[in-house]
Amino acid sequence: MKKIAMITGATSGIGKATAKKLAQQGYNLILTGRRASRLEELKTELQNLPIQTVTLCFDIQVTSEIEAALKKLPAEWLNIDVLVNNAGLAAGADPIYNGLWSDWEQMIDTNVKGLLYLSKLIIPGMMERQQGHIINVSSIAGKETYANGNVYCATKHAVEAITKGMRIDLLPYNIKVSSVSPGMVETEFSIVRYHGDKDKADNVYKGITPLYAEDIADAIEFMVTRPAHVNINDMLIMPSAQASAVYNHREE
Ligand code: NDP
Ligand code: 8X3
């Protein structure tokens, strides 16, 4: 019987790259995101591999959407072995006195509340089966705070605390809890952060070789392929040209 991995935010970036890696590892996949056409494209891309893929289209900010999507899953698909809580975003990069309520709400509702809602629905099945692995995608922003990062950093600091809390509470149930904490990864992240301003987004990676989504997918693949007695608590992964959230070395 193949293992099942659910990956949130699989329509782009780290989630999409992780889906491809775990497909190569032989996992059956539940792929989620809001953009249905992207989910279907990825499903088609994976169709030649000897795995099965189910797509669930929902906004992780909306509990009723999550519940309705999970209700559509056939019972055997509810035996989720690996949950990768990846869906997330930064919205805006403004000093605290200029931030938009709507950006703050979107980040908190997605990165914190969405991760919690979905996890709460998946964890009981893992507890019943006494088996599971949850991987939360955090960030260097979960460990450091930088200018204009205020609320995004707060959400990722929350992810760090939730990860540690989950690990403690799920200890008796043989459920591993890990996090992966990347520095700069070139995905759609900065385009989303700057509300579609491609020039601003390109500037983020100017003069630097950033991480690519596949680098983080590699780390997640490593985590899920450790023996049963080994848990990788956290991996902090940076581009070689980035020493911290604020120190970068850029070529002219
Ligand atoms: P992308 O923008 O490329 O991907 C984000 C994914 O999250 C998309 O698949 C998107 O799907 C999904 N998503 C966003 N909002 C929602 C929502 N409301 N409901 C459901 N799905 C949602 O960025 P990344 O791949 O870079 O980001 C993935 C994770 O990695 C995020 O948690 C981010 O904070 C974290 N991270 C990113 C870093 C970077 O530099 N890129 C560094 C450190 C951490 P859709 O729009 O289709 O709903
Ligand atoms: C995304 C990376 O540097 O914007 O989490 O915090 S950063």
CATH number for position 174: 3.40.50.720
Tell me whether residue 251 is in a domain: no
What's the pLDDT tens digit per position in 53-85? 999 999 999 999 999 999 999 999 999 999 999
CA–CA separation, 170 vs 166, rounded Å? 6
Ligand 2 contact via 190 beta carbon (within 6 Å): no
Catalytic residue (choose from 27, 152, 212, 247): 152
Tell me whether residue 244 is in a domain: no
Q: How many domains does the chain have?
A: 1
CA–CA separation, 112 vs 153, rounded Å? 11
Asked if pLDDT for residue 224 goes beyond 90, the answer is yes
Average pLDDT, integer, range 216-239: 98
Ligand 2 contact via 141 beta carbon (within 6 Å): yes
Q: What's phi and psi for 74, nearest 5 deg?
A: -60, 150
User: What is the reported pLDDT for 198?
Assistant: 97
Asked if pLDDT for residue 159 goes beyond 90, the answer is yes
Tell me whether residue 250 is in a domain: no
CA–CA separation, 9 vs 37, rounded Å? 13
* H or E stretch covering 63: helix 63-71
CA–CA separation, 212 vs 181, rounded Å? 13
* Ligand 2 mean position, distance from CA 70 (Å): 30
What's the pLDDT tens digit per position in 129-139? 999 999 999 99
Tell me whether residue 112 is in a domain: yes
Question: Which of 244, 242, 203, 237 lies closest to 14 in space, CA to CA?
Answer: 237
User: What is the reported pLDDT for 165?
Assistant: 98
End-to-end CA distance of the chain: 53
- Residue 78, classified by CB atoms within 10 Å of its CB into exposed (0-12), middle (13-18) or buried (19+), is middle
User: What is the reported pLDDT for 67?
Assistant: 98
User: What is the reported pLDDT for 117?
Assistant: 98
Average pLDDT, integer, range 76-95: 98
For atom 6 of ligand 2, which residue has the closest CA? 141
* Ligand 2 mean position, distance from CA 149 (Å): 8
Average pLDDT of the chain, as a whole number: 98
Average pLDDT, integer, range 5-34: 98
- 32, 131, 25, 229 alpha-carbon torsion, rounded to 10°: 140
Asked if pLDDT for residue 252 goes beyond 90, the answer is no
Contact in structure between 173 and 127 (CB atoms under 8 Å): yes
- 26, 8, 17, 226 alpha-carbon torsion, rounded to 10°: -50
* H or E stretch covering 237: strand 234-237
97 among known catalytic residues: no
Tell me whether residue 252 is in a domain: no
* Ligand 2 mean position, distance from CA 89 (Å): 9
Average pLDDT, integer, range 172-191: 98
What's the pLDDT tens digit per position in 14-27? 999 999 999 999 99
Asked if pLDDT for residue 92 goes beyond 90, the answer is yes
Tell me whether residue 52 is in a domain: yes
- Domain that residue 50 falls in: 4-237
Q: How far is CA 172 from CA 64, 126, 131, 204, in A?
A: 30, 12, 10, 43
Average pLDDT, integer, range 31-43: 98
Name the band, by pLDDT with cuts 50, 70 and 90, for residue 1: confident
Asked if pLDDT for residue 232 goes beyond 90, the answer is yes
